[in-house]
A = this chain, B = another copy of it.
Amino acid sequence: MKNVRKYAVIGTGAIGGFYGAKLQRSGIEVHFLLHRDYEYVKQHGLVIESADGNFTLPQVNAYNDVNKIPACDVVLVTLKTTDNFLLPKLLPNLVKDDGVVLVLQNGLNLEPYVADIVGDHRVMGGLCFICSNKIDNGHIHHLDYGQITLGDYAKNYRACGITERMKAIAEDLEKAEISIQLSSDLLLSRWKKLVWNIPFNGLSVVLRTTTDEIMSNFYTRNLAENLMREVVSIASVNQRYISSEFVEKMLIDTEKMKPYSPSMKLDYEAKRPLEIEAIFGNPLKVAQQGSIKAPRIEMIYQQLQFLDHFSH
């Protein structure tokens, strides 16, 4: 990869818009693919209302056609996973031969899907710990947090350690005032995030509630813990081992958090498609491969499929 890296953002929403705008503000060349608000952003740029300080980019490189974007060194994939069926058309010409596609989405087995399109050697993953919403055309509201955990990808999620290209990209992101953690094992990091995402995304939709209510009720606190333990047990099929202490810490951290509506809850309320397959369906496939029983995750998957406005 070059020393001066060109970025593309595929999906300029709450996550891609926020990180992309920060990168551009730091002096990096960024190209934004847009859909619904392409015309608006092309004319007016992006407005970032952020807990870390508001800023505006009056002019950005906005596109509604991926073929007009020059080949980039780093392609951030920040679509909803429910739009990932678009990636085989979007990615092949966009990423340079020595470039990398950085998958910044929730869920499991997203990198192998991207690797099938661009090759195993051009994929990385990232987990965003962020609370951010797109509230209007070209207008992003970042409420809290923002750290990205970066991990490199190799075939079958073999742990890669800390690679040079991870460090290079981390440097760009840190210059852009994005907090970065490096993970030597991307798959383990994905499973750890699922320990939280599976109970709280799922239950907040099914029980139409927020994290604080789930944690303050005796029964649903237990249920959240039951679900976490099922995630841990499926992770072992991938030879990724998560301790009881980690589960306990997740519960305690969530108890201390401000009342929070997970992204799936916001999607549900806005009648957007729910990311059920990436977050629930793909882990359940791993459970099945390993003949592990995960009846509670299966049940919440079934309940979400029922509630999803787009699954009928």
Show the binding face of A for B, using Cβ within 8 Å.
Answer: 206-207, 209, 213-214, 217-220, 222-223, 226, 295-296, 299-303, 305-307, 311-312
Q: Which residues of B contact A223 (CB under 8 A)?
A: 299, 302-303
Q: Which residues of B contact A301 (CB under 8 A)?
A: 219
Q: Are A302 and B206 in contact (CB under 8 A)?
A: no
Q: Are B219 and A305 in contact (CB under 8 A)?
A: yes
Name the contact of A219 in the complex, choosing from B219, B296, B302 (C-beta under 8 A).
B302
Shortest beta-carbon distance from A194 to chain B in Å: 18
Shortest beta-carbon distance from A298 to chain B in Å: 8
Q: Which residues of B contact A218 (CB under 8 A)?
A: 305
Closest residue of chain B to A312, judged by CB? B217
Q: Which residues of B contact A305 (CB under 8 A)?
A: 217-220
Shortest beta-carbon distance from A220 to chain B in Å: 5
Q: Are B299 and A226 in contact (CB under 8 A)?
A: yes
Q: How far is the CA of A311 from the CA of B217 in the complex (A)?
A: 9
Q: How far is the CA of A151 from the CA of B312 in the complex (A)?
A: 42
Write 19 A-B pairs (CB below 8 A) sorted by A numbering: A206-B206, A206-B207, A207-B306, A207-B307, A213-B306, A217-B305, A217-B312, A219-B301, A219-B302, A219-B306, A220-B302, A220-B303, A222-B302, A223-B299, A223-B303, A226-B299, A295-B295, A295-B299, A299-B300
Shortest beta-carbon distance from A255 to chain B in Å: 16
Name the contact of A217 in the complex, choosing from B206, B217, B222, B306 (C-beta under 8 A).
B306
- Nearest 7 A/B pairs, CB to CB: A219-B305, A219-B302, A295-B295, A223-B302, A220-B306, A217-B306, A296-B299
Shortest beta-carbon distance from A245 to chain B in Å: 24
Q: Which residues of B contact A312 (CB under 8 A)?
A: 217
Q: How far is the CA of A30 from the CA of B305 in the complex (A)?
A: 50
Q: How far is the CA of A206 from the CA of B209 in the complex (A)?
A: 12
Closest residue of chain B to A220, judged by CB? B306
Q: Which residues of B contact A209 (CB under 8 A)?
A: 306
Residue picked from A206, A299, A300, A311, most chain B C-beta under 10 Å: A299
Residue picked from A207, A296, A302, A312, most chain B C-beta under 10 Å: A302
